[in-house]
């Protein structure tokens, strides 16, 4: 398979990563690259103006970007993932949004707001109220997605099991107030701020369901289960950051000597063996991850529904890759010296990004 990232694009991303981290948002050159390459539209339907890339191709691109700058990889992944929801919107609305200038869709998955029914017939819609956290890329978002509890006359609507009904919505950024709240040690440039909406009205066609049965776009991308898509895209980001850390760890170690044995650190047999072992285990987990992803994608492309076993394999291979990534970063870090603890060093930025990204709740073992 060809390299998912052009060398000149990789250089641009790397050149501005430290500045973006310090500024706590992606550098304008990085933002321009996301738009120029159409990466934020890469999972949206072709019929709406997106690229509709095959999922394995998109995941490899996300990993490659994260392996250069974790924050940019994270924004790409979360915002392109929100763009995937265009495949579940009414096609005219999807075309209006995805075809817009410099479109970027951010959002949050937690149902921490309400959608009150408002209006009838063609004037039917919802008034959205609430606050949502962790909207990566919020400052550049043109639209936001959210989950909200449906209400009528102030009372939650219930499903057949008696639980509150939750629906996804897409709202334009002009209805949203960003709440600066992102103060994490890592992924600083992802600017994953909170946002709030205070009684804004949206038409009913801005609400949508996320399931293969509810897809409005043809194509295998919209038959791929949502949680499996989330597992593989998040795991690829973590793996990319871990690869970057291991790449930077060797030069750090090469400058150190073992305090007792007096040898250069990488010439100490136990240390050299540890480095090789972590690299090999990570490479094996990554190879297995892509084997499972490629096989699953081929099944969906051919019209075969994934079984529970297939879904478990996707989740298990994703979590195994995350576990191998955690083991590599955490066990090699002590050998990298105080340089790796310096906030302005590249390896420290990667370490901070890694340990922030890997806190995502889906990635718990």
Question: Above 70 in pLDDT, residue 238?
Answer: yes
CATH architecture group of domain 7-98: Orthogonal Bundle (1.10)
Question: Above 80 in pLDDT, residue 66?
Answer: yes
0.85 surpassed by pTM: yes
Please state, rounded to an integer, the average pLDDT across all residues of the chain: 96
pLDDT digits (tens, 9 = 90+) for 27-57: 999 999 999 999 999 999 999 999 999 999 9
Beta strands in the chain (DSSP E): 105-107, 113-118, 125-135, 143-152, 155-156, 166-172, 177-179, 193-203, 207-208
Report phi then psi at 362, rounded to 5.
-70, -20
In this prediction, residue 1 carries a pLDDT of 63
Instruction: Write the secondary structure of 62-112 as one string of H (helix), E (strand) and C (coil).
Output: HHHHHCCCHHHHHHHHHHHHHHHHHHHCCHHHHHHHHCCCCCCEEECCCCC
Residue pair 67/241 in contact by the 8 Å Cβ criterion = yes
**Nearest alpha carbon to residue 81 among 112, 48, 58:** 58
User: Length of the chain, please?
Assistant: 365
Percent residues over pLDDT 70 in the chain = 100
From the number of C-beta atoms within 10 Å of its C-beta (0-12, 13-18, 19+), residue 168 rates as buried
CA distance 223 to 261: 58
The domain defined by 105-214 carries CATH number 2.40.110.10: yes
In this prediction, residue 363 carries a pLDDT of 96
CA distance 20 to 30: 9
Please report which confidence band the pLDDT of residue 308 belongs to, taking 50, 70 and 90 as the band edges: very high
CA distance 109 to 280: 35
Q: What is the CATH topology of the domain spanning 224-363?
A: Butyryl-CoA Dehydrogenase, subunit A; domain 3 (1.20.140)
Question: Above 90 in pLDDT, residue 339?
Answer: yes
- In sequence order, the β-bridge partners of residue 234 are none
The domain ranges of the chain are: 7-98, 105-214, 224-363
Locate tokens 């006359």: which residue? 153
């Amino acid at each position: 398979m060809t390299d998912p990232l052009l060398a000149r694009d990789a250089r641009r991303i790397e050149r501005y990563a430290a500045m973006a981290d310090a500024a706590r948002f992606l550098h304008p050159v990085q933002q321009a690259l996301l738009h120029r390459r159409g990466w934020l539209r890469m999972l949206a339907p072709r019929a709406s103006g997106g690229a509709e890339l095959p999922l394995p191709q998109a995941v490899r691109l996300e990993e490659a970007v994260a392996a250069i700058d974790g924050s940019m990889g994270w924004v790409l992944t979360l915002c392109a993932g929100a763009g995937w929801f265009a495949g579940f919107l009414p096609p005219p609305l999807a075309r209006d949004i995805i075809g817009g200038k410099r479109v970027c869709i951010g959002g949050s998955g937690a149902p921490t707001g309400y959608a009150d029914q408002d209006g009838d017939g063609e004037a039917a819609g919802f008034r959205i109220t609430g606050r949502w956290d962790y909207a990566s890329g919020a400052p550049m978002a043109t639209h936001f997605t959210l989950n909200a509890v449906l209400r009528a006359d102030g009372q939650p609507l219930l499903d057949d099991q008696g639980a509150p009904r939750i629906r996804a919505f897409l709202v334009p950024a002009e209805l949203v107030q960003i709440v600066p709240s992102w103060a994490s040690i890592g992924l600083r440039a992802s600017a994953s701020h909170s946002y709030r909406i205070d009684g804004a009205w949206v038409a009913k066609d801005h609400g949508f369901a996320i399931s293969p049965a509810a897809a409005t776009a043809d194509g295998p991308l919209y038959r791929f289960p949502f949680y499996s898509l989330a597992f593989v895209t998040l795991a690829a980001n973590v793996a990319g950051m871990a690869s970057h850390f291991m790449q930077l760890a060797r030069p750090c170690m090469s400058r150190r000597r073992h305090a007792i044995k007096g040898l250069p650190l990488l010439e100490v047999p136990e240390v050299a063996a540890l480095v090789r072992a972590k690299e090999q285990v990570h490479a094996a987990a990554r190879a297995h991850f892509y084997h499972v992803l490629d096989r699953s994608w081929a099944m969906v492309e051919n019209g075969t529904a994934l079984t529970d076993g297939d879904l478990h394999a996707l989740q298990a291979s994703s979590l195994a890759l995350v576990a191998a990534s955690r083991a590599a970063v955490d066990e090699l870090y002590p050998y990298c010296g105080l340089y790796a603890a310096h906030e302005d060093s590249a390896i420290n930025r990667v370490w901070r990004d890694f340990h922030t990204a890997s806190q995502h709740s889906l990635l718990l073992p």
